[in-house]
């Protein structure tokens, strides 16, 4: 019998919807580190993901957008990490 792994934590839990359609991701000490905005392009609805002031990408689902921002945030802690191969976002700015 295969056991499916289901994590107990997800970037959704770090997201705070302070204004309708804009989710702000907050780190463990309460600092904002990214956001996801819902956008409409013609008949389609999507999400724009940003880490600090840097665009991470555009996504079709909120889940994918939140995961992308959180992944970029985690990578920003590694040497040479961050979006765009290490160029751009610097923690604490």
Which has more confidence, 81 or 20?
20
* Interstrand relation of 54-59 and 44-51 (parallel, antiparallel or unpaired): antiparallel
Query: Residues 11-59: pLDDT tens digits?
Result: 777 899 999 999 999 988 889 999 999 999 899 999 999 998 899 999 9
Q: What does pTM read for this prediction?
A: 0.74
Separation CA 83–CA 93 (nearest Å): 14
Separation CA 9–CA 37 (nearest Å): 21
Of 68-72, 77-81, 85-89, give the lowest mean pLDDT range: 85-89
Per-residue HEC secondary structure of 45-87 comes to: EEEEEEECCEEEEEECCHHHHHHHHHHHHHHCCCCCCCHHHHC
Q: What is the DSSP letter of 19?
A: E
């Amino acid at each position: 019998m295969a056991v499916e792994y289901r994590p107990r934590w997800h970037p959704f839990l770090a997201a705070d919807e302070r204004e309708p359609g804009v989710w702000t991701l907050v780190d463990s000490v309460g600092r904002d580190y990214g956001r996801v905005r819902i956008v409409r392009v013609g008949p389609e609805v999507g999400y724009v993901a940003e880490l600090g002031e840097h665009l991470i990408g555009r996504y079709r689902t909120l889940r994918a957008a939140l995961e992308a921002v959180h992944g970029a945030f985690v990578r920003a802690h590694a040497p040479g990490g961050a979006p765009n191969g290490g160029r751009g976002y610097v923690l604490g700015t």
